[in-house]
């Protein structure tokens, strides 16, 4: 399996996105904004189509377009606080509109299947370098602003009073979300990206650990989901996106079951 | 010193919530702000903390280092995965200058053994104390609290007021405290500021206790 260069590329890319998705997902989920992944993945479809039109690398063009939409969402979030989901719907409509128009008009020719469901056959070495570039920078920035990001999701107002540059960090985070989505699309596909962002964290939140431990467990779960997904998709010859999504739901269920069992064991011990 | 002159404030949907507010807080004073629910006490605090801008009037603030204990700890997301230590450490990291030792502040509030506990597993009183600990980390010269004793156990409440009185007396820390607890307000503060129907007036705690209460008790829960 590893003798194929596309499998090597797929594993290399997965190594980075499996770390980045739950890290970004942690902050999105705790902000009650996990659907942002879904909206922006559709924006990335628009970005990829525009990139093909302009003959650019899809990861790069997607990053530019998704960043733009992500920044707009962050800006609107301030102004439409009560209608946060509506903002996501508006941006989703606009981006899916652009994408469908470009793809259906015959101006660009893309393999829609691989965009939607993810693919390990089509990833290239140049994709890998873009993934490496964006994920190293993104992970570094999260590491650098970890305290600020944690403070802001916990208590945004308190962070303002404490003197954190909340506005700047929120916009920076919006760009990090864009980067994460743009690099993950190739492997996991547009339809599955939001489950990869939310589900490993949903599972690790069940463990009721500290912020840091929750994050590390999220990363661990994400590695399990993605790598088992890629291996299975190779054997089954199915799109990786679907299998990764199923795996992450199964893992979440296992964690829930395990937690439930521990709880009832504890109860029994107390009763005895 | 904090000097508020002819301050007006309206929200989009609540016009003239505060009208012509005037007061001065000198260094080392402890003011309790009282008034019925929805009278605009928290709004006044948010104005002082510069979270919102006044519709009209000025706030002159020479305090360099304000800290805030929010009202809404009781609407906190109790499933948020964060330990007491992480709450304090992130504050310290963000302030990055002149913070006290985390363990020292935890000792001050009797929270030492709760250091690794998740916020959601604390009692209301312990949780409030964590927010007070966070506020004290940066050695503030003005401490602003919003109803610190609301919905917490008697023991924590007494500890908190003893600490506030102590900080005010021995460290000369200036304090602004929105207060439901009239007893505590009268006992600890140097001044009372009462907001009613948009207007405010300052009075001495003893006088308030004697006279004002008779006419106005229905207005305030105590
Ligand atoms: N962000 C806001 N936007 C609009 N109205 C608000 C906002 N915050 C508070 N209010 C309204 O302003 C009034 C005063 O609120 P508040 O200052 O919290 O009162 P208090 O703290 O004295 O109970 C209330 O009627 C409340 O509904
Ligand atoms: Mg209030």
Q: How far is CA B70 from CA A52, A156, A159, in A?
A: 51, 12, 12
How far is residue A41's CA from residue A45's CA, in Å, rounded to a whole number? 7
How far is residue A193's CA from residue A116's CA, in Å, rounded to a whole number? 10
The CATH number that applies at residue B141 is: 3.40.50.300
* Segment B116-173, tens digit of pLDDT: 999 999 988 999 999 999 999 999 999 999 999 888 899 999 999 999 999 999 999 9
B79: contact with A, CB 8 A cutoff? yes
Burial B37-49 (b: 16+ CB within 10 A, else e): eebbbbbbbbbbb
Q: Could you list the residue range(s) of the whole structural domain that residue A183 is in?
A: 5-271
A169: contact with B, CB 8 A cutoff? no
Provide Rg for chain A, Cα atoms. 19
Q: How far is CA B166 from CA A47, B148, B185, in A?
A: 60, 16, 14
| Span A55-68, average pLDDT | 91
pLDDT higher at A268 or B194: B194
- Whether ligand 1 lies within 6 angstroms of the CB of B39 is answered as yes
How far is residue A202's CA from residue B206's CA, in Å, rounded to a whole number? 54
So what's the pLDDT on residue B73?
Answer: 63
| Span A140-169, average pLDDT | 94
Assigned domain for B131 exists = yes
Backbone angles phi, psi at B12, to 5 degrees: -55, -40
CA-closest candidate to residue B193, choices B208, B173, B210: B208
Q: Look at ligand 1, atom 6, and give the residue with the nearest C-alpha.
A: B11
Burial A204-241 (b: 16+ CB within 10 A, else e): bbbeebbbeebbebbbebbbbbbbbbbebbbeeeebbb
**What is the value of pTM for the model shown?**
0.90
So what's the pLDDT on residue B222?
Answer: 36
Q: Please tell me the total count of domains within chain A.
A: 1
So what's the pLDDT on residue B211?
Answer: 63
Cα A249 from chain centroid (whole Å): 15
How far is residue B136's CA from residue B67's CA, in Å, rounded to a whole number? 7
Identity of the residue in A158, A164, A214 whose CB atom sits nearest the CB atom of B81: A214
Q: Does A190 have pLDDT greater than 90?
A: no
Q: Does A54 have pLDDT greater than 50?
A: yes
**Ion ligand 2 neighbours, Cβ < 5 Å:** B 42
Q: How far is CA A249 from CA A198, A256, B11, in A?
A: 10, 11, 45
The ligand with the least distance to the CA atom of B33 is 1
pLDDT higher at B191 or B206: B191
Most confident of A43-47, A103-107, A114-118, B150-154: A43-47
Assign B209 a pLDDT band (cuts: 50, 70, 90): low
DSSP-derived 3-state class of residue B11? coil
A-chain residues near B66 (CB < 8 A): 161
Closest Cα in chain B, distance from residue A26 (Å): 10
How far is residue A33's CA from residue B29's CA, in Å, rounded to a whole number? 43
Assign A34 a pLDDT band (cuts: 50, 70, 90): confident
How far is residue A196's CA from residue A24's CA, in Å, rounded to a whole number? 10
User: Could you tell me what percent of chain A has a pLDDT over 70?
Assistant: 100
Assigned domain for B13 exists = yes
**What is the overall mean pLDDT for chain A?**
90
Q: Return the structure tokens found at B209.
A: 């206790």
Q: Say if residue A266 is exposed, middle or buried (CB neighbours under 10 Å; 0-12, 13-18, 19+).
A: exposed
Q: Could you list the residue range(s) of the whole structural domain that residue B141 is in?
A: 2-73+125-195
How far is residue A256's CA from residue A205's CA, in Å, rounded to a whole number? 10
Assigned domain for B24 exists = yes
Q: Return the structure tokens found at B28.
A: 């080392």
To test the ligand 1 pocket, which listed residue (B43, B49, B144, B200) has its Cβ within 8 A of the most ligand atoms?
B43
How far is residue A269's CA from residue B152's CA, in Å, rounded to a whole number? 32
Partners of B56 in the β-ladder: B8
A161: contact with B, CB 8 A cutoff? yes
Assigned domain for B16 exists = yes
Question: Which of A70-79, A236-245, A263-272 has the least mean pLDDT?
Answer: A263-272
Q: Answer yes or no: are the C-beta atoms of A96 and A219 closer than 8 Å.
A: no
Q: Please tell me the total count of domains within chain B.
A: 1
How far does the centroid of ligand 2 lie from the alpha carbon of residue A205, in Å? 31
The CATH number that applies at residue A12 is: 1.10.3470.10
* Segment B33-90, tens digit of pLDDT: 998 888 999 999 999 999 999 999 999 999 989 999 998 665 778 889 999 999 999 9
So what's the pLDDT on residue B220?
Answer: 44
Assigned domain for B111 exists = no
Q: Does B221 have pLDDT greater than 60?
A: no
Assigned domain for B173 exists = yes
Assign B216 a pLDDT band (cuts: 50, 70, 90): low
Q: Does A255 have pLDDT greater than 80?
A: yes
| Span A220-236, average pLDDT | 93
């Amino acid at each position: 399996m590893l003798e194929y260069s596309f499998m090597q590329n797929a594993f290399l890319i997965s190594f980075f996105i499996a770390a980045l998705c739950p890290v970004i997902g942690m902050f999105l989920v705790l902000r009650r904004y996990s659907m942002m992944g879904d909206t922006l993945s559709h924006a990335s479809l628009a970005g990829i189509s525009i990139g093909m039109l302009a003959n650019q690398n899809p990861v790069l063009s997607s990053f530019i377009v998704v960043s733009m939409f992500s920044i707009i969402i962050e800006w609107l979030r301030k102004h439409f606080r009560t209608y946060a989901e509506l903002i996501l719907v508006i941006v989703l409509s606009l981006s899916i509109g652009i994408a469908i128009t470009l793809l259906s008009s015959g101006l660009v020719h893309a393999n829609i299947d691989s965009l939607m469901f993810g693919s390990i056959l089509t990833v290239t070495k140049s994709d890998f370098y873009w993934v490496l570039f964006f994920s190293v920078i993104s992970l570094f920035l999260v590491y650098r602003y970890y305290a600020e990001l944690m403070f802001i999701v916990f208590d945004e107002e308190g962070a303002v009073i404490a003197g954190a540059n909340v506005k700047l960090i929120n916009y920076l985070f919006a760009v990090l979300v864009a980067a994460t989505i743009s690099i993950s699309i190739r492997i996991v596909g547009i339809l599955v990206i939001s489950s990869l962002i939310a589900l490993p964290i949903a599972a690790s939140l069940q463990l009721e650990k500290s912020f840091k431990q929750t994050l590390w467990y999220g990363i661990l779960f994400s590695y399990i989901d993605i790598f088992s997904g890629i291996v299975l998709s190779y054997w089954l010859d199915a799109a990786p996106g679907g299998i990764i999504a199923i795996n992450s739901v199964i893992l979440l269920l296992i964690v829930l079951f395990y937690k439930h069992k521990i709880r009832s064991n504890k109860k029994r011990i107390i009763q005895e | 010193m904090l000097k508020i002159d002819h301050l007006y404030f309206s929200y989009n949907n609540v016009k003239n919530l505060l009208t012509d507010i005037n007061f001065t807080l000198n260094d080392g004073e402890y003011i309790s702000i009282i008034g019925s629910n929805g009278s605009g006490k928290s709004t006044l605090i948010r104005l002082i903390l510069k979270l919102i801008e006044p519709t009209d009037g000025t706030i002159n603030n020479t305090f360099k280092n304000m800290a805030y204990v929010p009202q809404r700890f009781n609407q906190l997301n109790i499933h948020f995965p964060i330990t007491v230590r992480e709450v304090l450490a992130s504050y310290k990291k963000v302030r990055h200058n002149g913070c006290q030792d985390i363990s020292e502040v935890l000792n001050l509030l009797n929270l030492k053994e709760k250091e690794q506990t998740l916020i959601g597993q604390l009692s209301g009183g312990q949780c409030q104390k964590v927010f007070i600990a966070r506020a004290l980390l940066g050695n503030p010269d003005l401490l602003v609290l919003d109803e610190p004793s609301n919905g917490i156990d008697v023991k924590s409440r007494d500890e908190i007021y003893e600490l506030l009185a102590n900080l005010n007396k021995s460290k000369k820390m200036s304090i602004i405290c929105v207060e439901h607890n009239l007893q505590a307000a009268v006992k600890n503060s140097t001044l009372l500021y009462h907001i009613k129907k948009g207007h405010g007036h300052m009075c001495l705690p003893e006088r308030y206790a004697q006279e004002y209460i008779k006419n106005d008790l229905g207005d305030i829960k105590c």
